[in-house]
Amino acid sequence: MAVDLFRLTIHDAHDLLQRGQLTSLALTQAVLDRILALDNDLQAYLTIVPEMALEMAAAADQRRSQGEDHPLLGIPLAIKDVLCLEGVRTTCGSRILEDFIPPFSATSVARLEAAGAVFLGKTNTDEFAMGSSTENSAFCTTHNPWDLTRVPGGSSGGSAAAVAADLCLGALGTDTGGSVRQPASFCGVVGLKPSYGRVSRYGLIAFASSLDQVGVFGKDVTDAAILLQTIAGHDPLDSTSMPLPTPDYRRALTGDVRGMRIGVPAEYFIAGMQPETEQAVRAAIARLADLGAEIIEVNMPTTAEALPVYYLIAPAEASANLARYDGVRFGLSAGATDIWENYRQTRGAGFGPEVKRRIMLGAYALSAGYYDAYYLRAQKVRTLIRRDFERAFAQVDVMACPTSPFTAFKIGEKADDPLQMYLADIFTLSLNLAGNCGLSMPCGFDSSGLPIGLQLLGPAFGEEKILRAAHAFEQATAWHLPHPPL
């Protein structure tokens, strides 16, 4: 076959599998060989399961021979290492869970497995998904496939890098404040963060429970729609999962945006952002106008408050969620005879500096005398942010803006300046605070050859709208076609 099998999109691979021109075993072996050849340099994976993958591929081929079909049957995928996969080490990028093997799978993972997907392994992540660069992993730093000296973004940097470098055909990530969309932008792939409640969080090891959402990475918009279609839907195991019907997302991929109203929030084009990023995003918006969309300027006045609000609410929830890692029930235990000393030693050795920073910030914000001044006030401003989105989406169908104010930065460049690191997510945080959906897709390259991301924001449970706009832009451009120079 002329094409390298690992280069295939999910939908192209499915067509070949369906016609009998390809087997899942051959496809999976080609991707495993690609991982073997490249991942020592990229470090996208924390755990690779080749035997399991080949067994799943053989089972998929058997199911297909018996007449079964599904868009993901026999497709090799990667799973971010904060989602439980039964019987496979799940670390959250942390020493405190270094040897944890979950006895069950996350609902999103189980739905992929039921569809016949093949699991290649678990991808690297910032520790407990806390970070914007995947430099906070306790085990390794993932490298950007477009430039190995640069970060892939975070916290889902391992999944984004794996998709960009063809070390899988698609992947799951999680997005608490931009952790699917920002690495998708940095790595030049499509990353979709669904609305809060659209995808079950059961089996997702929690960072901030009111913000976390399972998302997907694809090589193109169609692949993202296929993945979302499979994992979306109500789950009685998750009380935050909404009992709503799941639309047919591929039907939204019409290639037509005529009559769509696309809002451009002025507050997302800020002083100090990389000029090439602004130029590429504005050119992308102009292209959507050429395709027949109506461009409308909208105002999001609380945008500047999103960063401080997020960094009060998320650490507060993290401090509560991570209290369970005490060396008593599971995970790392220092083994000290005194229980308080065991707590201190276990958490001191098990957590990295960024996790400790956020636990301390969150505990402080929730402490007596400070709760009203910080956490409660942040929740009130969160309501104002949500209302900004509601007002905007009363005027427009979707909004278009940059995913990040800059392209991928050098490894180590922002490691000693947490505020500068946090600013990498300044255009993505608001969406999680509001619970809405968003997507990042390639819309250009800077002078260093690094991808630039266009972000499309949608209303709650408006994934069809952002997929429609994204697909139309993708069909009219070729930014999704180049490959990293590996």
Catalytic positions: 80, 155, 179
Report which of 467, 471, 435, 481 is spatially closest to residue 189, judged by C-alpha positions: 481
The span from the CA of 205 to the CA of 89, in Å, is: 13
Cβ atoms of residues 207 and 321 within 8 Å: yes
Q: Which of these, 246, 191, 194, lies nearest to 223 by C-alpha position?
A: 191
Cα–Cα distance measured from residue 156 to residue 173, given in angstroms and rounded to the nearest whole number: 5
CB 205 within 8 A of CB 90: yes
CA dihedral sign, ordered 138, 174, 431, 107: negative
Which conformational region is residue 66 in: left (phi greater than 0), alpha (psi within -120 to 50 degrees), or beta? Answer: alpha
Q: What is the CA radius of gyration of the chain?
A: 21
CA 303 to chain centre: 21
- Neighbouring CB atoms inside 10 A of 312's CB total 23
Pairing of strands 170-174, 45-48: unpaired
At residue 402, the 3 state secondary structure works out as strand
| Cβ neighbours of residue 478 closer than 8 Å, sequence gap 6 or more | none
Report the phi/psi class of residue 342: left, alpha or beta, with left for phi > 0 and alpha for psi in -120 to 50: alpha
Tokens of 276: 């090439």
Bridge partners of 295? 262
Question: For the chain, what's the residue count?
Answer: 486
Q: Which amino acid is at 72?
A: L
**Rounded to whole angstroms, what are the CA distances from 263 to 318, 432, 458, 466?**
33, 18, 10, 12
**Distant-in-sequence, close-in-space partners of 363: CB < 8 Å, separation ≥ 6:** 319
Give the Å distances, CA to CA, from 394 to 262, 293, 414: 12, 16, 38
Q: How many CB atoms lie within 10 A of CB 92?
A: 31
